[in-house]
Structure 1
Amino acid sequence: MDFTYVTTLKNNLTKFKPLTDIEAAVLRHNERLNEIYNSNALEGNTITLNETRLILDDGITIAGKSMREHLEIVNLLEAIEYAEDIVKRKQCLTETVIKELHSLVYNKLGADTRDRGNYRRLPVEIVGSQHQPTLPQQIPYEMAKLIKWSQKEKEILHPVEYAAALHEKFAAIHPFIDGNGRTGRLLLNFALTEAGYPSVIVKADNESRLIYNNTLETAHVTGDLEPFTRYINELVENKLERMIDLLEKANAYDHIER
């Protein structure tokens, strides 16, 4: 795959005067709300985007929605904040980081706390998938291998290619009993942002969900990661294009004000 365009877009961001701290904070807050809503909706959470905002911004409990759905919203915010802090501190990806991400995602969701941040002890099947996730006894080995792969390949692969591959490999292992989808998307954005690329949102609408699931399934079953990588690359390109458009407008307004 050719990553020239996405690299050029990223480099073009430096040509613009940055947003103010307050502007950047407002945008990031809105992005988080969208990321939390969509990532949870992909896993069947029925809380809407506006309800997500009410829960996180106003502390409102939504009538007719389960406690689990509310917790999934709050938990994912805490996990995103943890991942952002790890990137800010330039901490490398480790099994401990992955387990902590899952622990935050899965906080208070299971009656047995042993499921939080611990690899599953049972074999699982993914309904509708031809892929068989890693057997429980092999998970520690495969996760250790994933970290070794990560340490090597992030210095070799283009950041977008690396981020897509990291997500795919983690999803193929399916190391936890639940919460793998949300944790995998956190890892995707962890890899992108530590390389200076923006985080992306896999939308929960039917078309986006289908492309995401089908390209991920193809990668799992055939070993061909290109369709999935192409999809992730398009998400990054679209995000960068929107960021550049926003900066162009902000800079133009700034010029008029002067």
Structure 2
Amino acid sequence: MPELPEVETVVSILNKNARNKKIVSIDVVYPKLIKTEISLEDFKKRVSNKIINEVNRIGKYIIFDIGVDVLISHLRMEGKWYYINNLELINQKHIELIFYLDNDYMLVYHDTRKFGTINLEEKQFYKFKEPIKKLGPEPFVKEVNGLYFSNAMSKSNKYIKTVLLDQTKISGIGNIYADEILFDSKIHPENKANNLSIDNYICIYNSSKKILKRAIELGGSTISTYKAGHGISGKFQNELKVHLRKGENCFNCSNKIFKIKVNGRGTYYCEYCQIKY
């Protein structure tokens, strides 16, 4: 599943290729992709002949600025955007949406699982509406620090791994990076959030910024079927310390990495390096 670093990489690719291109026409292959309550004809009218001014990101959401409106894309499990001039380059069975651009290229949304979503909202209001309004800030925001993490999370009696994945508290942290952040901060994933100290939360905050920054620098993690597209593959998977390393030796203490389920999510950790309170 694409997480914040992977989505940041996708945004960079889209800006490089599709920015300032006009959407001449649209083919909505899978209408359920569009989550805004609007007819397909009205959707096409509001998006056709609009220029993609810029592509941004909020949390794991991709924001296409098309003037008065924005398109909000969430890739979910396996969604991908392709900038191509020939549909034969991809598996056409999983194409859900095609934007035909004014340079004879296409911006194609492709999703083997069909979990992805697109919303069309007015630009001046979209941050105050679903799905964006519910998102917490990212770790990189100036106002966010260890105290903010503590205030946002320490009242919960859920596992800290689960709370880290709650996008309403802090946005952008997914399963891969939650494992890596908790390993880096030496905190067991099954610690209850309300049992952690302010010092623990300062560590989690610092690790969050460090891990996500490094993952962005390396283009994210290319894991399973996720690809950033256009020949770009993430390289952070080469630096993973615990995620997907069940049974392998810990880089710090040489003991075996364990895998458990935390609220249904596969979770990797070192029971010697990560303290359980």
Question: Normalising by the residue count of structure 1, what TM-score does the alignment of the two structures yield?
Answer: 0.30
Larger RCO, structure (CA 8 Å, separation 6 or more)? 1
Greater strand share, structure number: 2
Bigger fraction of residues in helix: 1
TM-score, normalised via structure 2 length: 0.28
